[in-house]
Amino acid sequence: MNRRFNRGKALRVAVCLVLLAALSSCMQLNMGLTVNANDTVDGQLLLTAEKSVLSARNKNIPAAFAELRQNIPALPAGEETGYEDNKLFGSQISYRKAPLAGFDTESVKLVRDGDLYRFTLPLDPKKYGGKVAQQNPQQQQAFLKLMSFEISVTFPGRVIDSNGTVNGRSVSWRVDSNQDKPSELRAVAEAPPRSSASPAAAGDDGGFPWLLVGGGALLLLLLAAVGVLLVRRRQPATPATSGPTPPGPTPPGPPVGAPGPG
């Protein structure tokens, strides 16, 4: 009795693993990101599956892809559009000056830690194959192993640590299908000093914005000084105070030799 049960269970597991291979070996996650010095991100993310496998599961290919995507952890939000070529169908997410804060997600973690940028892409089996695992938890490890990843991240500063291939300020990883996966893809790079244009510069440490207040006070003083000067220019000039009237000319006396009075 137990032998029959064990054989039946083993057969079901084998069938599930074969089905899983058909489902996940066709999935690819490709991502290329560029981190800007003002803590924003440009780039694209492409999640695809082979049309032949999707159509075998469901003639409605978009519906089949949507169902398969439920096994992928949440991706950084961006401008998402459909992607399709002769072999692949999927979703393309574009990032244009996207705030760095939007990349602290379950699937991708790209954060600033003081004067460093830290990138991590966890390859934890518990995060992948969640929908498949509802039927058989043993399939999570197989689901992740049969996926493929091609990732590239370019930083504004020098790369100081990574488990990928470093080329200048860029780090890349390629993990093929049916290949043992590392626990994570990681990189650490230097971050430039934050500028006032950085989205994270204002209130960075939660302190009082002394620079902003000081600048406002100086502007008010300048405006007050200009106002005083304008008021003084508009006042009429005060007339000069008149002094005592100088004496007039002395009248001329009688001509010489003229007889005097009486």
Go through 212-223 and write b for each residue having 16 or more CB atoms within 10 A of its CB, e for each that does not: eeeeeeeeeeee
Residue 128 identity: Y
Given a contact cutoff of 8 angstroms between Cβ atoms, the answer to whether 188 and 223 are in contact is: no
What is the tens place of the pLDDT at every residue in 190-237? 999 986 655 555 444 444 555 665 677 777 888 877 777 777 776 665
Q: What is the pLDDT of residue 117?
A: 98
Query: What percent of the chain clears pLDDT 90, i.e. is strictly above it?
Result: 47
SS (H, E, C) 77-95: CCEEEEEECCCEEEEEEEE
Q: What is the mean pLDDT of residues 6-28?
A: 49
Whether 43 is in a domain gets the answer: yes
What is the tens place of the pLDDT at every residue in 96-120? 999 999 999 999 999 999 999 999 9
Task: Give the residue with greater pLDDT, 98 vs 241.
Answer: 98
pTM exceeds 0.85, yes or no: no
Q: What is the pLDDT of residue 225?
A: 77
Which helix (H) or strand (E) segment holds residue 12: the answer is helix 2-24
Q: What is the pLDDT of residue 18?
A: 44
Whether 258 is in a domain gets the answer: no
What is the tens place of the pLDDT at every residue in 53-111? 888 878 899 999 998 898 899 999 999 999 999 999 999 999 999 999 999 999 999 99
Question: Residue 117 and residue 114: Cα distance in Å, rounded?
Answer: 8
Q: What is the pLDDT of residue 81?
A: 96
Q: What is the pLDDT of residue 27?
A: 86
Given a contact cutoff of 8 angstroms between Cβ atoms, the answer to whether 178 and 146 are in contact is: yes
Given a contact cutoff of 8 angstroms between Cβ atoms, the answer to whether 55 and 176 are in contact is: no
Whether 253 is in a domain gets the answer: no
Work out the mean pLDDT of the chain and round it to a whole number. Answer: 79
Whether 251 is in a domain gets the answer: no
Radius of gyration for the chain, computed over Cα atoms and rounded to the nearest angstrom = 41
Q: Which residue has the tokens 């209130």?
A: 203
Task: Give the residue with greater pLDDT, 10 vs 260.
Answer: 260
Whether 201 is in a domain gets the answer: no
In sequence order, what are the residues at sequence separation of 6 or more whose Cβ sits closer than 8 angstroms to the Cβ of residue 222?
Answer: none
In sequence order, what are the residues at sequence separation of 6 or more whose Cβ sits closer than 8 angstroms to the Cβ of residue 199?
Answer: 38, 39, 40, 99, 100, 101
Give the total number of structural domains in the chain.
1
At 250, is the pLDDT very low, low, confident or very high (cuts 50, 70, 90)? Answer: low
At 176, is the pLDDT very low, low, confident or very high (cuts 50, 70, 90)? Answer: very high
Whether 131 is in a domain gets the answer: yes
Question: Residue 262 and residue 106: Cα distance in Å, rounded?
Answer: 135
Helices (H), 205-262: 210-234
Whether 210 is in a domain gets the answer: no
Whether 54 is in a domain gets the answer: yes
In sequence order, what are the residues at sequence separation of 6 or more whose Cβ sits closer than 8 angstroms to the Cβ of residue 206?
Answer: none
User: Domain range for residue 94?
Assistant: 23-190
Pull the structure tokens for residue 158.
């020098």
β-bridge mates for residue 189, sequence order: 117, 159
What is the tens place of the pLDDT at every residue in 128-168? 876 555 556 667 788 888 899 999 999 999 999 999 999 99
